């Protein structure tokens, strides 16, 4: 799996969790200290977040690293992960 594919998968996961909480991109970006455009680029898989932004996203959205990596393994194996978590 390429870096580009992982960025896309990671962005989808962030988008899913943000929407589950009921936050707009603007609200989420403001809380974690980045612009809405930067968050949009992360969610679309164009850019990867730096360490600080990644940590802030995981803390604020209560992302689960174990889920992220197990779902990614299933993703690269071609399994559907849309109903998990």
pTM, full prediction: 0.80
> In this predicted structure, what is the pLDDT of residue 1?
65
Q: How far is it, in rounded angstroms, from Cα 19 to Cα 77? A: 26
pLDDT on residue 71: 72
Q: What's the Cα-to-Cα distance from 78 to each of 61, 73, 81, 82, rounded to whole Å?
A: 26, 9, 9, 12
Low-confidence ranges of the chain (pLDDT < 70): 1, 79-85
Q: Which domains does the chain have, with CATH numbers?
A: 3-76 (1.10.260.40)
- pLDDT of 52: 93
């Amino acid at each position: 799996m390429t870096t580009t594919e992982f960025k896309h998968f990671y962005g989808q996961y962030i988008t899913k969790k943000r929407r589950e909480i009921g936050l707009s991109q603007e609200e989420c970006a403001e809380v974690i200290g980045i612009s809405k455009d930067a968050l949009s680029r992360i969610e679309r898989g164009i850019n990867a977040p730096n360490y600080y932004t990644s940590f802030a996203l995981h803390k604020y959205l209560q992302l689960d690293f174990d889920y992220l990596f197990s779902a990614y393994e299933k993703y690269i194996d071609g399994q559907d992960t849309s109903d998990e978590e």
